[in-house]
Amino acid sequence: MSLSAPAARRHLHTRSIVCEGFRRDDGLWDIEAQIVDTKTYGYEEPDRGLRNPGDPVHHMAVRLTLDDRMVVQGVEVSMPATPYTTCLTAAPAYQGLIGRQVGLGWRRAVNECVGGTRGCTHVRELLFPMATVAFQTMGGWKEKETGTENLDDVPANASGRPYFLDGCKSWAVDGPVVARLHPQFAVRRAPAAEER
């Protein structure tokens, strides 16, 4: 499905976010993300002066290294382009995420560690889609047999229930996808009063 044709307009800003997941040879996982903001016009900044069209307003990158339980083992933050030199002083605070688990409570853990003036808004924003990419990387579709190992089962809670059940319309526990792919967790909900 495509968006409808837009009204007449002028392109001013582009934000590109790229997230990637990797299986390391040592058994750990690297989840990397970067954000780049650019303008289509020239402008003047208070610290960097004249910025030409396409010059990055922001360019930040993050690498989270996770173990199989999705616990952060390492964090690396790089800021090749920032509007203020003081932005760079936020990077060390992200080391506070080491030992935290990606999953339920991740957003709260990130905000406790690097929320507000403790961190960088743009780096912090990257950490949220990185969690989803971690789940997709570590527990997504299994690799087709190509002589390489198949990846472990989908991440689950202590009872073995996949974390994504009831997270969206397709993964509703009373829907056809769960009934077919995870029947042990499928439930039949009683019809609402108006349906009886």
Give residue limits of the domains in the chain. Answer: 13-139, 159-188
Give me 164's structure tokens: 């994504």
How would you write the pLDDT of the chain (196 residues) with one tens digit per residue? Answer: 799 999 999 999 999 999 999 999 999 999 999 999 999 999 999 999 999 999 999 999 999 999 999 999 999 999 999 999 999 999 999 999 999 999 889 999 999 999 999 999 999 999 999 999 999 999 866 666 554 444 345 556 667 777 778 878 888 889 888 888 888 888 887 776 665 5
| Per-residue confidence (pLDDT) for residue 144, from 0 to 100 | 64
Give me 64's structure tokens: 């989270």
| Per-residue confidence (pLDDT) for residue 58, from 0 to 100 | 97
What residues does 35 pair with on adjacent strands? Answer: 17, 60
φ/ψ region of 99 (left if φ > 0, alpha if ψ in -120 to 50, else beta) reads: left
Backbone angles phi, psi at 151, to 5 degrees: -80, 160
Give me 42's structure tokens: 């020239």
| CB atoms inside a 10 Å sphere around CB 64 | 27
| Per-residue confidence (pLDDT) for residue 194, from 0 to 100 | 63
Give me 35's structure tokens: 């954000």
| Per-residue confidence (pLDDT) for residue 86, from 0 to 100 | 95
Taking a C-beta distance cutoff of 8 angstroms, is the pair 165, 181 a contact? Answer: no
| Per-residue confidence (pLDDT) for residue 93, from 0 to 100 | 97
Taking a C-beta distance cutoff of 8 angstroms, is the pair 24, 30 a contact? Answer: yes
| Per-residue confidence (pLDDT) for residue 101, from 0 to 100 | 95
